[in-house]
A and B are shown apart, each in its own frame.
Chain A
Amino acid sequence: MVRLADMPDIDAQHLRDKPCPQLPKAWVPAKPLNERRFALVTTAGIGRRDDEGFGFHTNDYRVIPNDVDSGELVMTHNSVNFDRSGFQQDLNIALPIDRFKELADRGTIKGVGTHHYSFMGATTEPLDYEPTARKVAGHLKADGVDTVFITPI
């Protein structure tokens, strides 16, 4: 459905106009899933109710504890051009915290980090995320996380 050719022209053109620089290569070698400790990173503009909401064109992030009550989370993403009703019904549609806890409980993965991280996508230039992404990488490593599952919105 979200191939640009299948979208309304006005939406497709908007997305075509987004800057998409080709990235340098980076690659972490494979290892078994059950040896991996995961965290989630999303660009859905999710934060805790008491957090400051996301502003425009921002590369900052919010920290979401793994044991957060889903009722504590709200979305302050700038864009109105996506469906929010799925997120309103089920946090896991955008931030699958419960699904990853289930994978850890089953032993499919080694575990889940104590924190997840939310950025705001869509209006920020991709390479502007570098300083905050590298900072988050430091937090993740300190938490013993070696693998991240990324979701857009």
Chain B
Amino acid sequence: MSALAYFLEDEGIATTGISLVREHTEQMQPPRFLWVPFPLGRPLGVPGNPEFQHDVIAAALNLLDSHAGPVLADFERDAPPSGEPEASWSCPVSFGGPKREATTLVEEVAAEVRELAPWYALSREKHGRTTVGASGLEIDAARTLVASVLTLSDADEFDVLKFKYAIEDLKAYYLEAAAASPGADINVNTWLWRETALTRMIRELADLHRDSPREDLRTLIASGFVPREFR
């Protein structure tokens, strides 16, 4: 990000923007950045709050008035909560234990996807969009693809990126469904990784294929599979 700023500026295009990791920006010294005290994934602070987002942008745009650099300024305000303030969030569907009708992990995930369907539909309506679809598969096809990797053999054809995008689609489906309920905030991630059969399946896939002869699958599991804070 800092490097992009430098190369654009070197081509005659002025740059300003947001830094989430102050130490990186301090070391690299790009022309102008505003460090913000927000979580990774939320450079503008809070979803659905145009006023606050404009405050962040205005602080970054102010840096364009500087006459010499590099400039690294701090945005001093924390992001306000993004959920409804009076609400205490709980997932609309309780996944406390194995589904009664589900006898395998694959069936448990299928049951979760079914139970979340009306909440996902509600979320699409509420936000007017969905971010599910990176894999190009319908959600049940994405679920089937991910589950099939539980029995992947070394001889099977395998597209590691399609597999990763199918996982991302499933996580997006769960998180968007969860966000349909009042008070949803960043804590939906804890719910996803602590309470769902989907992420139990993801961990099982990681255990199964950590030493896979397929280098791309090993790389994916080592770096882009389970968030460090939930390993």
Contact = CB atoms under 8 A, between A and B. Distances in A.
Contacts of A149: 15-17, 57, 60-61
B201 interface: no
B47 A75 contact: no
Most buried by A among B14, B29, B53, B175: B14
Interface in A1-43: 1-4, 8, 10-11, 14-16, 18, 20-30, 33, 36, 41, 43
A126 B216 CA distance: 22
Interface residues of B, number: 90
A147 B133 contact: no
Contacts of B44: 92-94, 96, 99, 151
A80 B16 contact: no
Contacts of A56: 216, 219, 224
A74 B6 CA distance: 27
B175 A88 contact: yes
A37 to B, nearest CB: 10
A31 B50 CA distance: 26
A85 B20 CA distance: 17
A33 B1 contact: no
Given A78-B224, A99-B54, A145-B13, A133 B82 contact: no
Contacts of A55: 161
A101 B36 CA distance: 22
Nearest to A126: B3
B95 interface: no
B83 to A, nearest CB: 10
A34 B28 CA distance: 29
A70 B33 CA distance: 26
Nearest to A98: B50
Interface in B19-71: 19-24, 27-31, 33, 36-48, 50, 53-54, 57, 60-61, 64-70
B1 A150 contact: yes
Contacts of A36: 14, 64
A15 B24 contact: yes
Contacts of A74: 131-134
Given A4-B21, A23-B28, A148-B8, A94 B13 contact: no
Tell me which of A70, A78, A87, A152 has the highest count of chain B C-beta atoms within 10 A of its own C-beta. Answer: A152
Interface of A: 1-4, 8, 10-11, 14-16, 18, 20-30, 33, 36, 41, 43, 49, 53, 55-56, 69-71, 73-76, 78-94, 96, 98-100, 102-103, 109, 119, 121, 123, 126-127, 129-130, 133-134, 136-138, 140-141, 145-153
6 contacts: A1-B37, A20-B24, A20-B27, A85-B179, A94-B41, A150-B16
